[in-house]
Amino acid sequence: FSDPFLNRQRANDFIQADSRLRAVTQERIRERSKAHYEHQKETCEDYYLCEMYARRHGYPAAYKHYFGGRRRTK
């Protein structure tokens, strides 16, 4: 095999766009559907006092301390 260039048909034989597209789609789905604790951690990280409290007591305790009483039912 002396020619370093491949034609399009040969190139597509070993590079499959389907699998790459599927991987990108799955990654975007995972980004959209974050776990509940992940949202809590991000909320806590945005508030400086909560983040400082979290360094000492952990993110679940910090979120509960600063944001736990905000949910009110009608």
Predicted local confidence at residue 49, as pLDDT:
94
Give residue-wise pLDDT tens across range 22-61. 777 887 777 777 788 888 898 999 999 999 999 999 999 9
Predicted local confidence at residue 21, as pLDDT:
72
Give residue-wise pLDDT tens across range 1-19. 566 776 766 766 665 666 6
Predicted local confidence at residue 66, as pLDDT:
93
Residue 72 has pLDDT above 90, yes or no: no
Domain boundaries, the chain: 8-68
| Alpha helices in the chain, H assignment, sequence order | 8-14, 17-32, 36-46, 48-57, 59-67
